[in-house]
A and B are shown apart, each in its own frame.
Chain A
C-alpha cells in the first residue's frame, strides 16, 4: 500500500508541499536568520535619506517585497509564514476530530436508522455551511465577550462549532460505508467464531475503511480551510481579536488585531479595506487556494493508486 502510494507523483508533490510549508512555518526565524519580534513589528512611516516622510502604511508588495504589509504595518510575508502552521494545524485537528467523532458515533450502533439525520442534511443542503457556521460563531463571539471568556475557552468553543457542523453528513456517510462492510460474509464468519464486536471493528472494519478514511480526511481538511477562509472574509476567525490602542494619545484609534496568527484572521482584519489594499486579502486567500490545491493533489494521488489496485 505505502509502496504503491509512493509511486503517485501528485501525492508526493502535495505531501512535499504541505510538509515544507509546515517546516518553514515552524523554523522560519532560523531559516531566514531573523528575529521574530523584529520581523513582525509594526512598521511606521517610510523616510528618505534626509529624514523626510515619503510614504505611510500600508505598504504594497512593490514597496515592501515580497508581500507588502497589512493595514498596521506588519509584514505580510512573515505573517503568512508564521500563520501557516496555525492554519494547517487547525484544519488538521478539526478534520481529524470530525472523523474520529463521527466514526465513533457510527460504530456505537451501525444499524441505527438516523432517518432524522438525512432529513436534517437535505434540509440544510440549500444553506451554505458558511452561513450556518457564521450564525453559530457570531453568537459565540458576542456571548463570550459578554461573559468575559478567556481566549483559550473561546478557541475551544469555536473548534467545537467547526467540528460539530461537519459531523451529521459524516455520520450518514460512515453509516453507509460501515454497513456495507458489516454485510460482508467474512464479517459473519468472524462473528461465528466468537469474535468480539470491538475486535471485528478494529481488525476488519477499520482496515477495510482506512483508504476511505484518509480520502475523507483530506476532503474534510479542504472543507475546513474553505470554511475558515469564508469566515475570515466575514471577519470571524479562531481566537477572535484583541483590541489595540493605536495612534497618538490625543487621537486614539481602537483597532482589532487577531490573536491567533492564522490566515483567516489576516483576511478578517482587512476585508473592509479591500479596495485600498487588495493584496492584504488576495495574498492570504491565494495561500488558502494553494494549500487546498496541494490537498487535492494528495486526494488525486490516493484515488489513482486505489484505482490501479482495483484494476489488477
Chain B
C-alpha cells in the first residue's frame, strides 16, 4: 500500500471579480505518492497554478479554495491556521516558481536570499548563514559559490536564477516540491539542467515532486503519473506509460501530438485547436467538447470515469446530442 504524501480531493477554487464569480479550479482531485514525480499538464489558464497555490494557501487575495480537502501526510492543509501553515511552507512543502527573474528580490544579495527559509524556520543562526549558503550554492551547481554569494540577482543569467530558486526551495529539506513550470522561461539547453537538479534532489532526499508544465516532452522524461487539466477540470489521468501508449481523451491526444519530434515535422505543426474530437466512447461523449470555457456545453455536468484500473477519463454525465463544432 503506497502512502500518499499529498492528496487533493474535490478542490474548487473561485475568484470574486466585482460581484460575478469565476471558477478557476473545478472539482480537482489528485494524489502524489512518496518518491513520485506527478505531472499536472494543461494549457495556459487551465488552473494548474491555482491548484498548486491552494496547497500552500497562497492564492491571490481575491481567490478562495472553497470546497474539498488538501491532505499532506495526513494533515488537512485547508483547516490550518496561518501560523501552522507557515511552518509547512518551505519546510515541508516548497515551491519553485516559473518566473525566476521576478521571483528574486533585485535589491537583496543572493546569499541572503537563499537562506531566508532557514532563517525563518529558525534552522540556522546568523553565524551559520554563510557556510550554509555556500553549501547550497555548491549543491545547485555553482562553481564559484563565494562570488555568487555576494552578487545581486541581476548579475546572474536566467538559468542561474532558476538554480537559486531551487536552492531556496530545497534549503529546508522539504518532502514535497511543487515546481510550477520551472523551465518555461529558460532556453531549451538549460531546461534539462534545471529539471535534472530537481529530480536529483527528489531521489537524494526521497521526496516527491508535483511538476506543473504544458510540455508533454518533459512529462515523458521526468514524471511517473500524469494529470491532464483543461478549463479547471482534470480530463484524464493515468501512469505515464499508459497515457503515452494509449491516450484516450482527444485533448490529451492533441497535447501529445504537439510534442516536437524531428522525424515528424508535420505532427509538430498541429495545434490543439485543429483537433477534431472523437465523439463517442462506449456511448458517451468526452467532456468537454469545446475550448470555450464559457459555453454551456463546456459547463455541462461531467465526471471522471475509471476506464481501466487507475485510468480516468472525463465524460459528460448524460448522453448528449452531438453538437457539431466549427
Contacts and interface: CB of A to CB of B under 8 A. Distances in A.
B152 to A, nearest CB: 12
Given A189-B103, A193-B172, A194-B120, 13 more contacts: A186-B102, A188-B97, A189-B97, A190-B105, A190-B116, A192-B58, A192-B90, A193-B89, A193-B90, A193-B94, A194-B89, A195-B116, A199-B116
Given A111-B61, A184-B102, A186-B103, A193 B108 contact: no
A234 B135 CA distance: 67
Contacts of A204: 105, 108
Interface of B: 56, 58, 61, 86-91, 94-95, 97, 99, 102-108, 116-117, 119-121, 165, 168-169, 171-172
A194 B115 CA distance: 11
A43 to B, nearest CB: 58
B172 A186 contact: no
B103 A194 contact: no
A191 interface: yes
A106 to B, nearest CB: 15
Interface in A149-165: none
Give the size range of A's interface with the partner: 10 to 19
B103 A193 contact: no
A190 B56 CA distance: 12
23 contacts: A184-B102, A185-B103, A186-B105, A186-B106, A189-B95, A189-B103, A189-B168, A191-B58, A191-B89, A192-B56, A192-B95, A193-B89, A193-B171, A193-B172, A194-B87, A194-B88, A194-B91, A194-B117, A194-B121, A199-B116, A199-B120, A207-B108, A208-B107
Q: Counting chain A CB atoms within 10 Å of each CB, which of B58, B95, B120, B169 scores highest?
A: B120
Interface string A189-229: 11111111001000110011000000000000000000000
Report whether over half of chain B's contact residues are helix, strand or loop; otherwise say mixed: loop
Given A188-B58, A190-B105, A208-B107, A195 B168 contact: no
Interface of A: 111, 184-186, 188-196, 199, 203-204, 207-208
A53 to B, nearest CB: 70
Contact of B86 (A184, A186, A189, A194): A194
Most buried by B among A185, A188, A192, A208: A192
B58 A193 contact: no
Contacts of B165: 189
Nearest to B93: A192
A241 B128 CA distance: 60
Contacts of A186: 102-106
B168 A193 contact: yes
A192 B169 CA distance: 9
B89 A203 contact: no
A169 B88 CA distance: 38
Contacts of B104: 186, 189
B155 to A, nearest CB: 13
A193 B93 CA distance: 8
A203 B116 CA distance: 10
A193 B116 contact: yes
B70 to A, nearest CB: 15
A130 B6 CA distance: 61
Contact of A196 (B86, B105, B107, B168): B86
A37 B97 CA distance: 69
A189 B103 CA distance: 6
A2 B120 CA distance: 29
A192 B105 contact: no
A210 to B, nearest CB: 9
B272 to A, nearest CB: 28
B169 A193 contact: yes
A191 B102 CA distance: 14
Nearest to A199: B120
A185 B58 CA distance: 12
